[in-house]
């Protein structure tokens, strides 16, 4: 009887936790401080994978880019490829890290991209692991430091 009650309680707790998780949080939620990137000044990234993990999207690693969206990337004279700035292995729960950005493309609009990669097929005898990636986008402005 006792073990049965225990099981019922833990099932309740885990379903209550999952209820607070929006499907949109499946690849993690991203917050940056300050919310404009000032070149040469430290920016803090806080990424919460709590819901991602609860929803079954546990990341193997997460990559971070600064991307010029296609609508703004008409490339005056060339295409502006995403600026890669971090990979975090096996992120769990809440991750915090900082970056300081150097020169970027002038006059561009930017998105921070969090690309969360997980294993969808863990192991198959012939092919090994299959990974899938999902993205979270955050509009951000990138500004020159004031002098």
Ligand X SMILES: *[C@@H]1O[C@H](CO)[C@@H](O)[C@H](O)[C@H]1NC(C)=O
Which residues in this chain contact ligand X in the complex, by CB under 6 A?
Answer: 20, 48, 50-51, 72, 74, 76, 94, 107-109
Residue 21 or 86: the one with the smaller Cβ distance to ligand X is: 21
- What's the rounded Cα separation, in Å, for the pair 105 and 69? 12
Cβ at position 20, least distance to ligand X in Å: 5
Q: What whole-number distance in Å separates Cα of residue 6 and Cα of residue 110?
A: 50
Q: What are the C-alpha distances in Å from 58 to residues 30, 39, 63, 92, 112?
A: 16, 32, 14, 8, 20
Taking the least distance from each CB to ligand X, the nearer of 69 and 128 is 69
Question: At its nearest, how many Å lie between ligand X and the CB of residue 133?
Answer: 21
3-class secondary structure, 123:
coil
Helix (H) or strand (E) holding 19: helix 2-19
How many Å apart are CA 10 and CA 134, to the nearest integer? 30
Q: How far is the CB of 15 from ligand X (least distance, A)?
A: 14
Nearer to ligand X by Cβ, of 19 and 124: the residue is 19
CA distance 36 to 66: 13
> 25 vs 129, which CB is nearer to ligand X?
25
Beta carbon nearer to ligand X, 131 or 143: 143
To ligand X, the closest distance from the beta carbon of 113 in angstroms equals 17
Cβ neighbours of residue 133 closer than 8 Å, sequence gap 6 or more:
115, 116, 117
Q: Shortest gap between Cβ of 56 and ligand X (angstroms)?
A: 15
């Amino acid at each position: 009887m006792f073990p049965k009650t225990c099981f019922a309680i833990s099932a309740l707790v885990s379903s209550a936790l999952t209820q607070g998780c929006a499907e949109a949080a499946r690849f993690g939620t991203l917050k940056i401080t300050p919310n404009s990137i000032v070149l040469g000044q430290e920016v803090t990234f806080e990424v919460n994978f709590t819901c991602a993990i609860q929803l079954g999207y546990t990341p193997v690693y997460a990559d971070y880019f600064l991307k010029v969206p296609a609508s703004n990337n008409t490339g005056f004279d060339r295409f502006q490829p995403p600026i890669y700035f971090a990979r975090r292995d096996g992120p769990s729960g809440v991750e915090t890290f900082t970056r300081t950005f150097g020169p970027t493309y002038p006059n561009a609009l930017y998105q921070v991209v969090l690309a969360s990669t997980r294993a969808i097929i863990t192991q198959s005898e012939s092919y090994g692991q299959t990974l899938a990636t999902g993205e979270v986008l955050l509009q951000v402005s990138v500004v020159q430091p004031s002098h």
